[in-house]
């Protein structure tokens, strides 16, 4: 038996302080595997706490996998077989600066992650998370989503809310529920890079709609609805991907009027909205709740690995979506939902969101300074910029030249709904790199390459 007297953090419940001290000393080597802890009564006397407190602490440590209790012999540090450690991120291993993913910057702290995991470990119902979630998500996660949606001005009932494994899978599920193979789906002509393949995989025909600096043109939408008979519209109204535009209230009202005229169902992909803390126009769900499916995600605002999508249906349209979620296997993972629920209910999510906004604002300011002599779109809150290239560069060739310099971006041609469209842009994202310094280094490499000319395609001979 070891003579062990832990140092306690008495700002927290004492049973948790003791369990945390066991974890800390196991990790630090003070309590090696197989050592026997002091009897509960002895430790209670040493620490000046009740026997019940120590009993609860040992039980907590046992639930964390730190202890093994043997009747008549006491409690022992459990001999554990350790899994292999997580691999290093590719950026660290290869020196790659990845500016191609529109994700939240890495601002979550280890303490915030540990607190959420500890909350799950203490929950007596935690093993339920290993079961399949109901098609619309666990009830506690739908309640969490209702709370989170209020940040976007959306008042929804829990029965209208579905939790999916990310916003993209939520979008695919809604498309499958609403459409028939061969049907046309209208969308902004410059759009989400995966949208073209998403439509093709769902056997749907893209109907590109012309845009201006305020987004989708209502007259073009009206014409397309009349000529193609399409009755589904997909759009990204806030911090549009890739142009960064946030559609004005006036434009939204005009689009709603056209949608009601032609009985168009609106799929509102609003995953970036909360990155801009300014007052924004109402969502399409708020303006036209009878015909709008609102799709959002926690991945773009808190942490990309959460993979939690939220779909809000018009009232009365829940049944059809529920059946498709079951067949599409698009239900979310219960454990990630519990991490997010802890953050949202304790408002750690608000702190994470604020830090993420601040970090994006810092990286955006660095972009504005680096490319002040260039032509681009990069609205406040945007996690990326839409950068126009000099005439002597094509987007594909420029992206390839950057990749050779260990910087990754997405060429503008990937964002055109019609394959083969001409583009003079690249999308430059801010959130992927681990630090602002690495992001700025990527900006410097892009700027220097823009100043140079493409290398000639020839083989030198003597």
- The pLDDT tens digits for 401-453 are 999 999 999 999 999 998 777 889 999 999 999 999 999 999 999 999 999 87
Weakest-pLDDT range from 326-330, 355-359, 374-378, 392-396 = 326-330
pLDDT recorded at residue 327: 65
Measured CA distances, 434 to 65, 95, 97, 410 (Å): 31, 12, 9, 19
Measured CA distances, 320 to 176, 250, 313, 418 (Å): 10, 32, 10, 30
Sorted by sequence, the CB contacts under 8 Å of residue 354 that are 6+ apart come out as none
Q: For the chain, how big is the Rg over CA atoms in Å?
A: 26
pLDDT band with cut points at 50, 70 and 90 for residue 462: very low
Report which secondary-structure segment, H or E, holds 249: helix 249-262
Query: How many residues can be counted in the chain?
Result: 462
Average pLDDT for residues 390-410, to the nearest whole number? Answer: 95
> Which residues, in sequence order, are bridge partners of residue 410?
427
Q: Which of helix, strand or coil describes residue 426?
A: strand
pLDDT recorded at residue 400: 95
pLDDT recorded at residue 147: 96
pLDDT recorded at residue 333: 73
Average pLDDT for residues 243-263, to the nearest whole number? Answer: 98
pLDDT digits (tens, 9 = 90+) for 140-196: 999 999 999 999 999 999 999 999 989 999 999 999 899 999 999 999 999 999 999
Percent of the chain with pLDDT over 70: 92
Residue 167 CA to residue 300 CA, distance in Å, equals 10
Weakest-pLDDT range from 5-19, 87-101, 194-208, 262-276 = 87-101
pLDDT recorded at residue 317: 86
Which residue, chain included where needed, has tokens 């009985």? 263
What does DSSP assign to residue 379?
Answer: -
pLDDT digits (tens, 9 = 90+) for 66-112: 888 766 678 888 856 555 665 665 544 468 899 999 998 999 999 99
Name all domains of the chain by residue range, CATH numbers in brackets: 14-77 (1.10.10.10), 97-108+359-451 (3.90.1150.10), 110-348 (3.40.640.10)
More reliable by pLDDT, 120 or 65: 120
pLDDT recorded at residue 25: 87
More reliable by pLDDT, 135 or 90: 135
Q: Mean pLDDT, the chain, as a whole number? A: 90
**pLDDT > 90? residue 310:** yes
Q: Report pTM.
A: 0.80
More reliable by pLDDT, 246 or 316: 246
Sorted by sequence, the CB contacts under 8 Å of residue 114 that are 6+ apart come out as none
Q: Are 224 and 186 in contact (CB under 8 A)?
A: yes
pLDDT recorded at residue 271: 96
Average pLDDT for residues 212-230, to the nearest whole number? Answer: 96
pLDDT band with cut points at 50, 70 and 90 for residue 251: very high
Q: Which of helix, strand or coil describes residue 127?
A: helix
């Amino acid at each position: 038996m070891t003579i062990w007297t832990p140092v306690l953090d008495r700002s927290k419940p004492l049973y948790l302080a003791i369990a945390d001290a066991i974890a800390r000393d196991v990790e630090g080597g003070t309590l090696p595997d197989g050592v026997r802890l002091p009897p509960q009564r002895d430790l209670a006397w040493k620490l000046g706490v009740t026997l019940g407190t120590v009993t609860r602490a040992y039980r907590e440590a046992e639930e964390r996998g730190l202890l093994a209790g043997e009747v008549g012999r006491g409690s022992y540090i459990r001999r554990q077989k350790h899994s292999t450690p997580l691999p290093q991120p590719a950026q660290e291993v290869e020196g790659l600066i990845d500016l191609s993913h529109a994700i939240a910057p890495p601002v979550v702290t280890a303490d915030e992650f540990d607190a959420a995991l500890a909350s799950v470990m203490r929950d007596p119902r935690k093993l339920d998370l290993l079961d399949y979630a109901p098609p619309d998500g666990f009830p506690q996660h739908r309640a969490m989503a209702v709370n989170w949606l209020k940040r976007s001005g959306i008042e929804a009932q829990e029965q209208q809310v579905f939790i999916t494994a990310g916003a993209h899978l939520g979008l695919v599920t809604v498309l499958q529920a609403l459409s028939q193979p061969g049907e046309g789906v209208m969308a902004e002509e410059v759009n989400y890079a995966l949208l073209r393949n998403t439509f093709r995989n769902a056997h749907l025909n893209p109907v590109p709609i012309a845009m201006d600096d305020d987004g989708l043109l209502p007259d073009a939408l009206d014409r397309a609805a009349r000529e193609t008979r399409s009755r589904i519209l997909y759009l990204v109204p806030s911090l549009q991907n890739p142009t960064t535009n946030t559609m004005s209230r006036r434009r939204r009202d005009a689009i709603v009027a056209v949608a009601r005229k032609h009985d168009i169902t609106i799929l509102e992909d609003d995953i970036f909205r909360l990155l801009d803390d300014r007052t924004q126009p109402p969502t399409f769900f708020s303006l036209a709740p009878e015909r709008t499916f609102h799709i959002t995600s926690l991945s773009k605002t808190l942490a990309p690995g959460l993979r939690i999508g939220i779909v809000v249906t018009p009232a009365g349209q829940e049944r059809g979506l529920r059946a498709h979620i079951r067949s599409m296997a698009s239900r979310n993972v219960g454990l990630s939902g519990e991490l997010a629920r802890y953050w949202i209910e304790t408002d750690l999510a608000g702190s994470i969101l604020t830090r993420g906004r601040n970090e994006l604002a810092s990286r955006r300011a660095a972009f504005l300074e680096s490319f002040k002599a260039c032509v681009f779109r990069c609205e406040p809150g945007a996690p990326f910029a839409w950068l126009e290239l000099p005439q002597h560069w094509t987007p594909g060739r420029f992206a390839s030249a950057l990749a050779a310099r260990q910087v990754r971006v997405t060429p503008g041609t990937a964002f055109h709904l019609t394959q083969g469209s001409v583009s003079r842009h690249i999308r430059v994202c801010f959130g992927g790199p681990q630090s602002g310094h690495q992001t700025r280094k990527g900006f410097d490499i892009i700027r220097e390459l823009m100043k140079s000319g493409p290398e000639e395609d020839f083989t030198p001979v003597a």
